[in-house]
Structure formats: C-alpha cells, structure tokens
Amino acid sequence: MSTIRNQSLIRRNDKCPCGSGKKFKVCHSPDSPAMRSGYAQQAQAMNYIDTGESPVKYVICDNTGVKFFSDVDNKILVFSSRDEAGTIATLEDFAEQAPGEINVAGVGPTKWEHLQAKLPYVEVTSVEHGIELVRARIAKMKELTDGQEGTEETAQQESPAAEGQESGSGA
C-alpha cells in the first residue's frame, strides 16, 4: 500500500511517494492544486494513516490512501479490527473496483486522536453493521443516479411535446 510517511523528509520537487510519478508539490503537498480543491478533506485524511505506530483502528481506503470509503453521510468507516475491515473490503459491493484499488490501512493512536477531532467518521461495530452502512450508501448513490437519469428522460420527453406545440401554433 502506498502511503506517505514522514512527509517532512520529502522536498517539493521530489517524486511524490504515493506512486503517481508526479512531483510532490503538485500531487500531495499541502500547497498543491489538488489539496486546495475539493479533494482537500480526502487528502487531509491521508495524513491520518500509518505513522509507524501500532494500529488501534482500521480504515478502508484506495491504493493511494487518499480516498476513504464512507457511509451515506460521507463519514469515514472506522473498524476495530483489520479482519472486519478486510471482510467489508472484499464484499461484492466493491467488485467494480479494480484489483489493488481497495486497501485496509491501520491508524495509530496519535493519528486516531487527530482523526476523531478533525474528520467525520462512524465506528463500525460489527461486520453486519458495516454491510448495512455500505449497502445504504450504494442504495443512496443508485437512487441519486436514477433520479438524474429520470430528470434527463423527463426533459427529453417534454422537449418534443413543446416543439410540437410550437410548430402547431405557428401554422
């Protein structure tokens, strides 16, 4: 898993340790465009992973450690054990992800304190609870997608009717 460790040792023009091949200053530097844009919170969350301490909590993230898997309210899913997180990460709900895109990362005690204070999260109490949270999020995403498709279809159906009225009234 690619995570950024000891960020203070990385210079601006060094390659970013996330493996993207980009310079650190344009990839994961606090001053990079990505960090200043809408990804700032996700990129900030990356700082909470793996500081070399023994993990006390676990999260499911992508292979860069930047995107975290969350519930319906975009709260990061936090697990008490690696096994629970791993079980959720291997659910069929994640099947659309490419191999290697899903990782389980440990969060040390120091970073856990920071995460609790800075980022929205929900502690998953069991595998069943995790399954409910993930499926609820997927259902909401599907509902939003279906709603957008329905709106587009309605607009397309109304458009020919409006054109027919215009051409009929002009005759």
Distance in Å from the first CA to the final CA of the chain: 68
* Boundaries of domain holding 146: 7-152
Rounded Cα–Cα distance for residues 49 and 27 (Å): 17
Residue indicated by tokens 């009225």: 165
Average pLDDT over residues 7-24: 71
Rounded Cα–Cα distance for residues 165 and 98 (Å): 49
CA distances from 170 to 161, 165, 166 (A): 14, 9, 6
Evaluate whether residue 91 is within a structural domain: yes
Whether the full predicted model's pTM is greater than 0.95, yes or no, is no
**What pLDDT, on the 0 to 100 scale, is given for residue 131?**
86
Evaluate whether residue 166 is within a structural domain: no
**What pLDDT, on the 0 to 100 scale, is given for residue 91?**
76
Evaluate whether residue 162 is within a structural domain: no
- Phi, psi torsion values for 58, nearest 5 degrees: -135, 150
Under 8 Å CB-to-CB from 112, ≥6 apart: which residues? 48, 56, 57
Evaluate whether residue 169 is within a structural domain: no
Q: How many domains does the chain have?
A: 1
**Residue 43 — pLDDT band, cuts 50, 70, 90?**
very low
Average pLDDT over residues 42-70: 68
**What pLDDT, on the 0 to 100 scale, is given for residue 25?**
76
pLDDT in tens, 130-164: 888 888 888 888 888 887 766 666 555 655 555 55
